[in-house]
Amino acid sequence: MATAADWMSAASFISMAGLIAGMGYGGSLFLMGWTGGYVLLAILLAPYLRKFGKFTVPQFIADRYYSKTARTVAVFCLLAASLTYIIGQMTGVGVAFSRFLGVSNTMGIFIGMGIVFMYAVFGGMKGITYTQVAQYCVLILAYTIPAIFISLQLTGNPLPQLGLGSDIVGTNVSLLSKLDAVVTDLGFSKYTTNVRLSTLNMFVYTVSLMIGTAGLPHVIIRFFTVPNVKGARSSAGWALVFIAILYTTAPGVAAMAKL
């Protein structure tokens, strides 16, 4: 749960459903890329980083391929991915705290950073783990409970994952067919049709997101809290399961919110 909470932050909780609602079918590349990154992490990185005793991907690559040049390239790639990620996360933190406390976005960012700093310094990695388990429980309940009631109201199915493919209550029209009709009446292309990206672009974006996810340092360091390689692989697998609960709910929330 702690590993899943590491990834399920502002980008996933605040923006994922809206992104899919706006892009329609094309938004699936974010689901495939971010969840696929954990598959790469579980198979190719987490067990071997734990085995080699390395704490970052550049260190692992340098020792694995005996190349300082490869380590330098890996450092720049990691910085690019991490900076892009942290900018989005800090923006989300600023928005959340500014709305909750009635302060400016900038002050919200500093408040969020201060809270993270305090429990990281005084609680250590063990304290962070317990905090993130609690964070995951709060996030997943806050996300899935409204989704269940929305799905029940529109389709009579309590599971948003199944409600996405169900018929609207009292009709023989599927939810997605109804949604396609609504958006085309407004002059837009069908929700279930990808018109923004070619197959090649979707593939490239998905692979980029997978690689970026697998290399994030704050995710990788989580696998050093387990005692051995087997535990690291198991931890990555369970993280994927807990992440999938949110990521399989998001398409249903996105579609139902547009009706």
Closest CA to 240 of 36, 20, 19: 36
Which pair of tokens denotes residue 27?
Answer: 């938004």
Q: Is residue 79 part of a domain?
A: no
pLDDT (tens, 9 = 90+) of the chain, 259 residues, equals 766 766 676 667 777 777 888 887 777 888 888 888 877 877 777 777 767 766 777 877 787 778 888 888 888 888 887 788 788 778 878 888 888 888 888 898 898 888 878 777 776 666 667 777 777 888 888 888 999 998 898 888 888 888 888 888 888 888 888 888 888 887 777 877 776 777 788 888 888 888 877 777 777 777 777 777 777 777 777 888 888 888 888 888 888 888 7
Q: Is residue 68 part of a domain?
A: no
Total domains present in the chain:
1
26, amino acid identity: G
* Greatest extent of the chain over all pairs of C-alpha atoms, in Å: 65
Q: Determine the structural domain holding residue 169 and report its residue range.
A: 2-50+126-257
Q: Is residue 63 part of a domain?
A: no
d(CA 84, CA 222): 20
Please give the distance of CA 189 from its chain centroid, rounded to a whole number.
27
pLDDT of residue 148: 92
Q: Is residue 9 part of a domain?
A: yes
pLDDT of residue 6: 67
Specify whether the CB–CB gap between 160 and 151 falls below 8 A.
Answer: yes
Q: Is residue 199 part of a domain?
A: yes
Which pair of tokens denotes residue 217?
Answer: 């340092």
Q: Is residue 71 part of a domain?
A: no
Q: Is residue 161 part of a domain?
A: yes
Q: Is residue 220 part of a domain?
A: yes
CA angle 119, 125, 130 (to 5 degrees): 70
250, amino acid identity: A
Specify whether the CB–CB gap between 255 and 190 falls below 8 A.
Answer: no
CA angle 84, 234, 158 (to 5 degrees): 75
pLDDT, tens digit, 9 for 90 and up, residues 184-206: 887 777 877 776 777 788 888 88
Closest CA to 233 of 40, 57, 74: 40
pLDDT, tens digit, 9 for 90 and up, residues 218-235: 777 777 777 777 777 777
Secondary structure, 3-state, the chain: CHHHHHHCCHHHHHHHHHHHHHHHHHHHHHHHHHHHHHHHHHHHHHHHHHHHCCCCHHHHHHHHHCCHHHHHHHHHHHHHHHHHHHHHHHHHHHHHHHHHHCCCHHHHHHHHHHHHHHHHHHHHHHHHHHHHHHHHHHHHHHHHHHHHHHHHHHHCCCCHHHHCCCECCCCCCEHHHHHHHHHHHCCCCCCCCCCCCCHHHHHHHHHHHHHHHHHCHHHHHHHHHCCCHHHHHHHHHHHHHHHHHHHHHHHHHHHHHCC
